[in-house]
Amino acid sequence: MPSAVCGGLAGSELRHRRGRCGPQAARAAVPEEAAEAAAQSPKRPAPGSRPSEAACRWVLLALVTLLAFATRFHRLDQPPHVCWDETHFGKMGSYYINRTFFFDVHPPLGKMLIGLAGYLSGYDGTFMFQKPGDRYEHHNYMGMRGFCAFLGSLLIPFAYLTVLELSKSLPAALLSAALLTFDTGCLTLSQYILLDPILMFFIMAAMLSMVKYNSCADRPFSAPWWFWLSLTGINLAGAIGVKFVGLFIILHVGWNTVSDLWHLFGDLSLSLVTVGKHLIARILCLIVLPLALYTAIYAVHFAVLNQSGPGDGFFSSAFQARLSGNTLHNASVPEYLAFGSVITVKNLRMAIGYLHSHRHLYPEGIGARQQQVTTYLHKDYNNLWIIKKQNTDSDPLDPSFPVEFVQHGDIIRLEHKETSRNLHSHYHEAPLTRKHYQVTGYGINGTGDSNDFWRIEVINRKFGNRIKVLRSRIRFIHLVTGCVLGSSGKVLPKWGWEQLEVTCSPYLKETLNSIWNVEDHINPKLPNISLDVLQPSFPEILLESHLVMIRGNNGLKPKDNEFTSKPWHWPINYQGLRFSGVNDTDFRVYLLGNPVVWWLNLLSIALYLLSGSIIAVAVQRGAHLPAEVEGLSQVLLRGGGQLLLGWALHYFPFFLMGRVLYFHHYFPAMLFSSMLTGILWDTLLRLCACGLAASSLASGVHMGGVLSLLLGTAYSFYLFHPLAYGMVGPLAQDPQSPMAGLRWLESWDF
Q: What is the pLDDT of residues 102-116, one digit of tens each?
A: 989 999 999 999 999
Question: Residue 324: beta bridge partners?
Answer: 307
pLDDT for the residue 660 = 83
Instruction: Characterize 405-415 residue by residue with b for buried, 16 or more Cβ atoms within 10 angstroms of its Cβ, and e for exposed.
Output: ebbbebebbbb
Phi-psi region of 573 (alpha: psi -120 to 50; beta: other; left: phi over 0): left
pLDDT for the residue 562 = 58
CB-CB contact of 702 with 163 (8 Å): no
CB-CB contact of 565 with 661 (8 Å): yes
pLDDT for the residue 22 = 36
pLDDT for the residue 473 = 87
Please give the model's pTM, rounded to 2 decimal places: 0.82
CB-CB contact of 334 with 528 (8 Å): yes
Q: Which helix (H) or strand (E) holds 233?
A: helix 223-242
Phi and psi at residue 430, in whole multiples of 5°? -70, 160
pLDDT for the residue 561 = 56
Q: What is the tally of helices (H) and strands (E) in the chain? A: 20, 16
In this prediction, the residues of the chain whose per-residue pLDDT falls under 70 are 1-50, 351, 393-394, 462-464, 533-534, 555, 557-563, 691, 693-695
**734 CB contacts (<8 Å, ≥6 apart)?**
584, 740
pLDDT for the residue 463 = 53
Residue 42, preceding bond cis, omega within 30 degrees? no
**396 CB contacts (<8 Å, ≥6 apart)?**
338, 339, 340, 388, 389, 404
**535 CB contacts (<8 Å, ≥6 apart)?**
318, 321, 322
pLDDT for the residue 47 = 40
**603 CB contacts (<8 Å, ≥6 apart)?**
none
Amino acid at the residue 134: D
CB-CB contact of 184 with 592 (8 Å): yes
